[in-house]
């Protein structure tokens, strides 16, 4: 059922995205762009030492990509850089493999339905790959359409 | 219901010819509304390709053995069928290509490199598919020529007064779509060709979206080049036709070198083959060519006039049905339109629409349809596109409307 994909939490975050704002004092930025979909995203991250103090985004996209960015920014706060990157790996596994769901994912488990929609994996991962670019200081916009 | 719309058109009988349509997707009957991307194939085409591989398979144009003669005859028969389909003067004006994209690239590369110089101008339109933009951009970049763009209005119709202003003695080429893939607009190409000729320019018509839906008469249009893709005309992928006036083609250098496009080869000099073989290097897509012939025959047998009339009825029905959905905006409302319904829904991204529809068995296209400038012009990132063919029914449009109701339930 399509409801397995569009769970209430995803619909809620797509209609009322959290942390959807620019951040003037962010010290890590990156852009994500999936030209085939038209999904665009600008990510702002404020690191204090090794810890994500704040994260926010601006952009336009489908329900999956918007909800993913919203829930990602919520889940990042307080995480160290390594923890954030490990979460990215776990999130990617959630979407692309049948491995048991990691407890560390918390609310992000709501995206488990995406694995049954291979064409939509790139929507859910755009924000996360943009995060990696932001932390790595990549200037070029990142895309998940060539995965 | 269909009998009310077009009594002469027995769509249920036609649907019997298309095996792919008889299946369920996610437990629902398939509703295929993506024919502008590729059309489905009738048994006639599938059987022709199968027969070639099963019975006649051999390389063409060089064997003296029976199979080679059979395959050559079947392949060349398609050129004769295409001559009838497009009403060209001669079969020698019809080049087999991989599809519309290759047809355009062939002209941009061969005709363009020879005839376009620094400061010259090439005119395209605001509604072109990327395949009728990028080859010209590449040519302009190489030659220092300039690309000019005919603008369109809010309906998605080209503004001919602006086109008139763009034409000038520096204009070498006008390349426009007969029918827009993203909007469905049918452009007044006959008039546009006459205007270009008056200015001394050569015209290429991208017929990818026209060929399966309208009667195309290259002599009546007076097109210099006209190109189409077989797979949009219920034929196989990887095969298409480029029509060019013989005088133009004869004056052009070959596009690719290799076997089949030569008369005599020595290390000192090679003499090229006559038309059309000069442009057909290498073993071609023989099975595809044979399948394409079967596709032309199939479409001709039904009759393009009947097809156009029936699809127009579907378009009117679909336009009215979609217009009744609150928050839905149709993108592309030209007065002359093919059966393409591109639309956006307030607050709902096309990819979410596409996914929800897919789960109800309904296949639509979502995205920019390889026409990003069109999306930019209408200020939308993407659209959902339902494109219809003569095997679609009113009931399928009703299914689309019901499917969009489900979309609204989920996202409102």
Those residues whose C-beta lies under 8 Å from the C-beta of residue B262, and which sit 6 or more positions away, are B270, B271, B272, B273
Query: Is residue B219 within 8 Å of B87, Cβ to Cβ?
Result: yes
Q: At what angle do helices B286-302 and B43-51 cross, to 10 degrees?
A: 150
Nearest to A38 among B348, B356, B368 (CB): B368
User: For residue range B241-274, what is the model confidence (pLDDT) as tens digits?
Assistant: 999 999 999 999 999 998 888 889 989 888 999 9
pLDDT score recorded for residue A145: 81
Token code pair at residue B336: 């002359």
The domain that contains B241 carries what CATH number? 3.40.640.10
Flag if B356 and A6 touch (Cβ within 8 Å): yes
Tell me how close the Cα of A82 comes to any Cα of chain B, in angstroms: 33
**Mean predicted confidence (pLDDT) in B357-377:** 94
Q: Is the pLDDT of residue B410 over 50?
A: yes
B11 lies in the same domain as B127: no
pLDDT score recorded for residue A36: 79
Tell me how close the Cα of A81 comes to any Cα of chain B, in angstroms: 32
User: For residue range B101-154, what is the model confidence (pLDDT) as tens digits?
Assistant: 999 999 999 999 999 999 999 999 999 999 999 999 999 999 999 999 999 999
Flag if A60 and B375 touch (Cβ within 8 Å): no
Write out the residue range of the structural domain in which residue A39 sits.
Answer: 2-136
The structural domain count of chain A equals 1
B27 lies in the same domain as B53: no
B175 lies in the same domain as B116: yes
Which of B349, B354, B370 should we substitute to test contact with A (largest number of A Cβ atoms within 10 Å)? B349
B18-21: long-range pairs with CB below 8 Å, 24+? B18/B42, B18/B43, B18/B391, B19/B43, B19/B46, B21/B391
Compute CA B219 distance to the chain's CA centroid, rounded to the nearest angstrom.
Answer: 19
pLDDT score recorded for residue B4: 52
ipTM > 0.85 (yes/no): yes
Token code pair at residue B236: 């196989």
Residues of chain A with Cβ-Cβ distance to B351 below 8 Å are: 37, 62, 64, 120, 123
The structural domain count of chain B equals 2
Domain final residue pick, B247, B275, B301:
B301
Write out the residue range of the structural domain in which residue B355 sits.
Answer: 2-32+303-411
The domain that contains A74 carries what CATH number? 3.90.1010.10
**Chain B residues with CB-CB distance to A under 8 A?**
347-352, 355-356, 359, 367-368, 372, 375, 380-382, 410-411
pLDDT score recorded for residue A102: 85
Tell me how close the Cα of B381 comes to any Cα of chain A, in angstroms: 5
pLDDT score recorded for residue A147: 53
Q: Does residue A142 form part of some domain?
A: no
Catalytic residue of the set B21, B248, B304, B370: B370
Flag if B350 and A62 touch (Cβ within 8 Å): yes
Flag if B359 and A123 touch (Cβ within 8 Å): no
Query: Which chain B residue shows the shortest CA-CA distance from A114?
Result: B355
pLDDT score recorded for residue A128: 96
Rounded-to-integer distance, Cα B104 and Cα B201, Å: 16
Q: Does residue B154 form part of some domain?
A: yes
Q: Does residue B336 form part of some domain?
A: yes
Q: Is the pLDDT of residue B6 over 70?
A: no
Q: Is the pLDDT of residue B7 over 80?
A: no
B143 lies in the same domain as B15: no
* pTM as predicted: 0.93
Q: Token pair 């009117």 is at which residue?
A: B316
Q: Does residue B37 form part of some domain?
A: no
Query: Is residue B11 within 8 Å of B391, Cβ to Cβ?
Result: yes
Flag if A62 and B349 touch (Cβ within 8 Å): yes
Residues of chain B with Cβ-Cβ distance to A117 below 8 Å are: 355
Which one has a higher pLDDT value, B381 or A11? A11
Which of A63, A144, A145 should we substitute to test contact with B (largest number of B Cβ atoms within 10 Å)? A63
Whether residue B370 lies in the annotated active site: yes
């Amino acid at each position: 059922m399509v409801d397995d994909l569009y769970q209430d939490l995803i619909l809620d975050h797509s209609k009322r995205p959290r942390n959807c704002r620019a951040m003037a004092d962010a010290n890590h930025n990156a852009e994500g762009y999936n030209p085939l979909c038209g999904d665009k995203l600008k990510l702002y991250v404020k690191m204090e030492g090794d810890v994500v103090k704040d994260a926010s985004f601006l952009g336009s996209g489908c329900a999956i990509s918007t909800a993913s960015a919203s829930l990602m920014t919520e889940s990042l706060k307080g995480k160290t850089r390594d923890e954030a990157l490990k979460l990215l790996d776990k999130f990617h596994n959630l979407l692309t493999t049948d491995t048991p769901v990691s407890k560390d994912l918390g609310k992000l488990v709501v995206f488990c339905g995406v694995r049954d929609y291979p064409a939509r994996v790139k929507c859910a991962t755009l924000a996360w790959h943009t995060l990696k670019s932001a932390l790595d200081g990549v200037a070029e916009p990142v895309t998940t359409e060539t995965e | 219901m269909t009998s009310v719309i077009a009594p002469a058109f027995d769509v249920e009988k036609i649907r019997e010819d298309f095996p792919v349509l008889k299946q369920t997707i996610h437990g629902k009957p398939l509703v295929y509304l993506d024919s502008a991307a590729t059309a489905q194939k009738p048994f006639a085409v599938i059987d022709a390709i199968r027969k070639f591989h099963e019975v006649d398979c051999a390389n063409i144009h060089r064997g003296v053995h029976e199979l080679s003669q059979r395959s050559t005859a079947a392949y060349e028969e398609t050129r004769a069928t295409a001559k009838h389909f497009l009403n060209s003067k001669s079969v020698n004006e019809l080049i087999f290509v991989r599809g519309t994209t290759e047809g355009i690239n062939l002209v941009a590369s061969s005709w363009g490199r020879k005839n376009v110089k620094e400061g010259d101008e090439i005119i395209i339109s605001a509604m072109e598919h990327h395949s009728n933009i990028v080859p010209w951009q590449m040519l302009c970049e190489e030659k220092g020529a300039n690309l000019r763009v005919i603008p369109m209005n809010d309906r998605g119709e080209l503004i001919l007064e602006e086109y008139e202003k763009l034409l000038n003695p520096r204009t070498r080429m006008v390349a426009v779509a007969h029918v827009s893939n993203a909007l469905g607009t049918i452009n007044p190409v006959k008039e546009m060709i006459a205007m270009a000729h008056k200015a001394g320019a050569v015209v290429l018509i991208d017929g990818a979206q026209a060929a399966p839906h309208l009667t195309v008469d290259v002599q009546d249009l007076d097109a210099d080049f006209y190109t189409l893709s077989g797979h949009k005309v219920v034929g196989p992928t990887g095969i298409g036709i480029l029509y060019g006036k013989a005088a133009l083609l004869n004056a052009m250098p070959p596009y690719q070198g290799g076997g089949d496009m030569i008369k005599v080869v020595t290390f000192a000099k090679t003499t090229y083959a006559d038309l059309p073989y000069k442009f057909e290097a290498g073993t071609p897509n023989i099975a595809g060519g044979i399948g394409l012939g079967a596709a032309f025959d199939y479409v001709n047998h039904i009759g393009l006039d009947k097809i156009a009339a029936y699809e127009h009825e579907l378009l009117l029905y679909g336009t009215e049905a979609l217009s009744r959905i609150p928050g839905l905006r149709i993108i592309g409302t030209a007065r002359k339109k093919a059966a393409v319904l591109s639309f956006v829904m307030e607050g709902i991204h096309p990819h979410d629409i596409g996914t929800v529809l897919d789960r109800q068995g309904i296949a639509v296209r979502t995205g920019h349809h390889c026409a990003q400038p069109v999306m930019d012009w209408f200020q939308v990132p993407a659209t959902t596109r339902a494109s219809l063919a003569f095997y679609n029914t009113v009931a399928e449009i009703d299914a689309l409307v019901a499917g969009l109701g489900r979309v609204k339930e989920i996202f409102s």
